[in-house]
Amino acid sequence: MRSAITLESVDLTHSQHRVFKDLSMNFEKGLWHSVLGRSGVGKTSLLRLIAGLQKPDAGEIRFDNNASLKSQVAYVPQDDSLLPWLSIVDNVQLGPRLRGEATSATRERALKLLKDVGLREWRDNLPATLSGGMRQRVALARTLLENPPVVLMDEPFSRLDAITRHELQGVAFELLRGRTVILVTHDPAEALRLSHKVHVLQPGIPSRCPTLELESQPLRGIESDVLMQQLPQLWRLLEVQDSDAIEANSTS
């Protein structure tokens, strides 16, 4: 399968702290990829690198067909980042507004996307009047308006209650079907439910990121066999400590 994004021997230092050394990863086109790892291991830094918000010290990040970054990637930050002074429909068409390209056609598209996420009647409200789950739906609609082939999501469901999270995962999966999605998450069950592939970022230098390939189609139920079978293996990969990595390296 063709790669949408390839990271090759990437080094990154942040505030004199080495985040990645010689990190190589591959994200296949059209699949949902989850990136799991402990806090501080560099999950958000990885997304920022791919989004072009940070430059690597060394190495290369390549996109499919060597396309330009701007046309490839949409970023869904951890908090929904809705602008509190704009109405819901204007938040959805934030991209065209910022680029001075907002027209009646973009407004129509924004309204259609709001209908898709079930919030059309809220179009003239301000974000403060929406619940956390509804705000994330708006953020999703804003992402879809850009029509990107690659979507980067930084723990978008982490602040929601269990039921809302479950519902919104389903909505997001359906709406983003066919695109390459890289989802950073703390939650192994969420990664196993939604992904074709789970990448586990482990602490230690050089950087290591073993990948778990899942067989059945994502959007698995909470009692799915994949969840039951793979969770212990995923847990073992997550448990790897910095010292284990050093030991493994010296042995090899």
CB of 2 or CB of 55, closer to other proteins: 55
Residue 185: φ, ψ to 5°? -150, 155
Among the residue ranges 80-88, 158-166, 220-228, 239-247, the one whose residues contact other proteins (CB under 8 A): 80-88
* Shortest distance in whole angstroms from residue 151 CB to other proteins: 11
Q: How many CB atoms lie within 10 A of CB 199?
A: 23
Residues 6 or more apart whose Cβ sits within 8 Å of residue 143: 74, 75, 76, 151
Report the side by side order of strands in the sheet with 150-154.
73-76, 150-154, 180-184, 32-37, 197-201, 211-213
Residue 214: φ, ψ to 5°? -105, 140
* Per CB under 8 A, 78 contacts other proteins: yes
Q: What burial letters (b/e) apply to 139-162, b meaning 16+ CB within 10 Å?
A: bbbbbbbeebbbbbbbbbbeebee
Can you tell me which of 52, 59, 132, 206 binds other proteins, judged by CB under 8 A? 52
Can you tell me which of 23, 31, 49, 74 binds other proteins, judged by CB under 8 A? 74
* Shortest distance in whole angstroms from residue 246 CB to other proteins: 33
* Shortest distance in whole angstroms from residue 74 CB to other proteins: 7
What the block records as the tokens of 146 is 């850009």
Which residue, chain included where needed, has tokens 């989802």? Answer: 183
Can you tell me which of 30, 59, 77, 133 binds other proteins, judged by CB under 8 A? 77
36: nearest Cα among 180, 144, 194: 194
* Shortest distance in whole angstroms from residue 100 CB to other proteins: 7
CB of 22 or CB of 79, closer to other proteins: 79
Can you tell me which of 128, 162, 217, 232 binds other proteins, judged by CB under 8 A? 128
* Per CB under 8 A, 94 contacts other proteins: yes
* Per CB under 8 A, 97 contacts other proteins: yes
Interface residues with other proteins (CB under 8 A) are 48, 51-53, 70, 73-75, 77-79, 81, 83-85, 94-95, 97-100, 126, 128-129, 146
